[in-house]
Amino acid sequence: MKVGIFDHLDRNERPLHAFYEERLRLVEAYDRGGFYAYHTAEHHATPLGLAASPSVFLAAVAQRTQRLRFGPLVYTLPLHHPLRLVEEICMLDQLSRGRFELGVGRGISPIETAYYGINPDHRQKMYLEALQILRQALTQRTLTFHGEFYRYADVPMELEPLQKPHPPFWAGAGTPDGAEAAGRNGFNLVANALTSEIRAMTDRYPGRQRPDLRDSRDDRPLPRGVQGHAHSHAGPGSLRDHGRDRRRGADHRTPRLPALAPPLPSSLSHARHQPGRWGPAAAV
């Protein structure tokens, strides 16, 4: 079993410059402790997540770690220009010598999308178009695409990822239909659901029934692991308190999984970290 970390970077009382530095020191400890991967959420205009530009924060992660794999969970594709994003992905994969994990999605909050002047009803179509663009641009020398929202004609792709044909894709899902769609795309899956609902999702994850389906990167069998997350308590307060904090400025829900997490390696006890009310989530 591989253990990773899913981190919202929730706001705490520390000044922002200290908050980011302390979080990076914690990520260094994850690297020393042998964790498999570190993922960050993308949120905007809410204290729920302060990695509003995942690529900026993850560029620092790339330089502060040696073995830890990392990536966004997820890039909110409707809020990113696809051409700019594919260049950032290539740079992060090269800077980390092939440790980048690429999470993509349409975004959970219509309010955050609307702040950017984007009609939330267009999120799914924009996501699907942007995903097609990423898959083409990461594997070809020129980009040509004609869609409803994005259009490109013979754009030279000067940058390329280190991992071939592209970094591993990740998708988040909260329903069996979402799990099935992720698997058929050859994506790793992050399950955001009650523990009682996870089995229904894994049963629909195609790798369980279709051993002939292959990972789109390197023809390996489709990944069968499902990653869930649980919040670990890092200070006084209750789930109800945390729910109020999360809802400030956005329509986010309270955590849906119990506060369970595996013990951290002893090397993490030396990390200089001042967590907020809730720390990063441990994911397995």
**pLDDT 10s digits, 38-70:** 999 999 999 999 999 999 999 999 999 999 999
Residue 88 makes CB contacts below 8 A (sequence gap 6+) with 55
Residue 273's pLDDT is: 35
Residue 267: count of CB within 10 angstroms of its CB? 13
Task: Please compute the mean of the pLDDT values over residues 130-142 and round it to a whole number.
Answer: 97
Q: How do residues 11-24 score in pLDDT, each as one tens digit?
A: 999 999 999 999 99
Token readout for 192 is: 């955001």
Residue 229's pLDDT is: 47
Token readout for 213 is: 């389906």
Give the confidence band of 186 by pLDDT, cuts at 50, 70, 90. confident
Does position 141 have pLDDT exceeding 90, yes or no? Answer: yes
Residue 174's pLDDT is: 80
| Contact assessment for residue 130 and residue 150, using Cβ atoms and an 8 Å cutoff | yes
What domain range is 256 assigned to?
4-283
Residue 168: count of CB within 10 angstroms of its CB? 20
Q: What percent of the chain has pLDDT over 70?
A: 73
- CATH number, domain of 50, equals 3.20.20.30
DSSP 8-state secondary structure symbol assigned to residue 200: H
Of 42, 36, 11, nearest in space to 223 by CA = 36
What is the total count of domains within the chain? 1
Cα gap 253→177, rounded to integer Å:
21
Bridge partners (DSSP) of residue 100 are: 70
5-9, 107-111, 192-196: the lowest-pLDDT one: 192-196
pTM summary value: 0.77
Does position 259 have pLDDT exceeding 50, yes or no? Answer: no
Amino acid identity for residue 175 in this structure? T
- What separation in angstroms does the CA of 23 have from each of 97, 132, 183, 193? 22, 33, 32, 26
| Contact assessment for residue 231 and residue 281, using Cβ atoms and an 8 Å cutoff | yes
Of 46, 178, 179, nearest in space to 113 by CA = 46
Pairing type for strands 278-283 and 229-233 reads antiparallel
Cα gap 111→118, rounded to integer Å:
10
132-146, 185-199, 222-236: the lowest-pLDDT one: 222-236
Task: Please compute the mean of the pLDDT values over residues 253-262 and round it to a whole number.
Answer: 32
Residue whose structure tokens are 């020129």: 142
Cα gap 187→166, rounded to integer Å:
12
